[in-house]
Amino acid sequence: MCPPADQTNGVTKDEMVPIDNSNTPHIPPPTNETNGKSEPPPVKSHKGVYGRASDFLSNTSNWKIIESTLREGEQFANAFFTLEKKIEIAKMLDEFGVEYIELTSPAASPESRAHCEAICKLGLKRTKILTHIRCHMDDARLAVETGVDGVDVVIGTSSFLREHSHGKDMTWITKTAIEVIEFVKSKGIEIRFSSEDSFRSELVDLLSIYRTVDKIGVNRVGVADTVGCADPRQVYDLVRTLRGVVSCDIETHFHNDTGCAIANAYAALEAGATHVDTSVLGIGERNGITPLGGLIARMMVADPEYVKSKYNLSMLREIENCVAEAVEISVPFNNYITGFCAFTHKAGIHAKAILANPSTYEILNPADFGMTRYVSIGHRLTGWNAVRSRVDQLNLNLTDDQVKDATAKIKELADVRTQSMEDVDMILRIYHTGIHSGELKVGQSAVLDKLLDKHMPSRETSPSRANGANGTPAKRPRVEETA
């Protein structure tokens, strides 16, 4: 699960320095001089008069999320959602602000149909409810009876699926698609038609059927990388070509088997797609699909104001915790935005820069997501600037030379064992007391060792344990920021 604000997986808040940069603008450091005043460097836009033609098609600032945790996510190996859990997740996603929630086909089982009907009756404030069905009239009839706002129709179009899955040719697929689409449209609800395994389908087949369904009035056509084989260049080329063929919206669905799901989704939006399918934590069949948090992270860089205006970003951690618990997994340490390492800084040079301006080593502002950045200091890579920050937080009166001297001891002890924040605070307080009582002066490492032994007798890594095998003091590490 994602860590709460005061704890992280395997690393507690007490082992890190929380950095308060609430009053520090999250912008790159100024580099230009104009009229004697420092100003940020000018931003170069690629959307000018002489920009690429494709720029005019880009939807990186105009797109919608179709959240499929309750459809694609049910196909995840560990997933089993009760109705109560589905309702909880649906309400959270609605509060987050996703435009659509996609549910498992009511034709899958009696329970699936009952769950679909129940969620449709919730009266969600922002979110429309869709269900995902096969291109079959029986499925379509069941779907429209549940009260959904729209139906997502899919059928395999690649030679692999036509031969080994449903066994139908493109003529049959086109005829059946028209029948299902016209039926759903007659009920006054949204309809999307998607090919399955789009990137292993023949381009001429895809464009032919997409053009046909566009002419009869689908709301969206869908492109699906069902096996995760596509790369961003292929995605851009296909969606760009499709954008020139259809006038309706374009939905995209990317599996993550080869690690390209987020990049593919972004490339699709650049090429003119309008909708992206996601799931919380990316759960789904096999390695899953584009993760909700990962897409949000990518799009925040593209247009932060647009994203912040649409979505309740502080909800993201709560949603991910809920889903992680339901499917019995932990949120990865390097998860986008909410992983416990996402905004943790360790190396000395990084820490120094972060303390001056967070934008130096952060492209995302944790405050936008209700998260907090930390600088970890109880280790051999720590720098004195990070320790200085902790000294100031503890209201200890030490000069820079004294902080550097204390940092040297922290690094020396951390060469044996990483020091917890409690250890670091004790070292700093003992050092401070020794300096101001006159018992200790800068550079008196042996005296500091005695003070630490006296006041921290139970610590696992005493100075004597940090010494060499013959009892002589171990060589002190150089005191410097480490990249």
User: In Å, what is the CA distance from 354 to each residue of 187, 266, 298, 400, 403?
Assistant: 56, 28, 21, 18, 18
Cα 114 to Cα 184: distance, rounded to the nearest angstrom: 20
- Strands 7-8 vs 11-12: parallel, antiparallel or unpaired: antiparallel
Phi, psi of 129 (to 5 degrees): -105, 130
Phi/psi of residue 467, nearest 5 degrees:
-80, 165
Report the number of secondary-structure helices (H) and strands (E) in the chain.
17, 15
The DSSP secondary-structure symbol of 73 reads G
- The first and second tokens of residue 157, run together, are 């179009």
**464: CB partners within 8 A, 6+ apart:** 449, 453, 471
Q: Are 248 and 221 contacting, i.e. CB atoms less than 8 angstroms apart?
A: yes
**What is the Cα–Cα distance from 57 to 60, expressed in whole angstroms?**
9
- Which residues, other chains included, contact 49 with Cβ-Cβ below 8 Å and sequence gap of 6+? none
Structure tokens at 258: 């080869």
The values of phi and psi at residue 196, to 5°, are: -110, 145
Pairwise CA distance, residues 403 & 426, whole Å: 14
Task: Find how far residue 348's CA is from the centre of its chain.
Answer: 26
- Residue 33's DSSP bridge partners are 38
**In the structure encoding, which two tokens stand for residue 289, read together?**
């699909």
Residue 240 to residues 56, 96, 232, 274, Cα–Cα distance (Å) = 11, 30, 12, 12
Active site residues: 350
Q: Which of 81, 77, 86 is nearest to 284 (CA)?
A: 77
Distance CA 201, CA 40 (A): 48
- Judge whether 148 and 189 are in contact, CB under 8 Å: yes
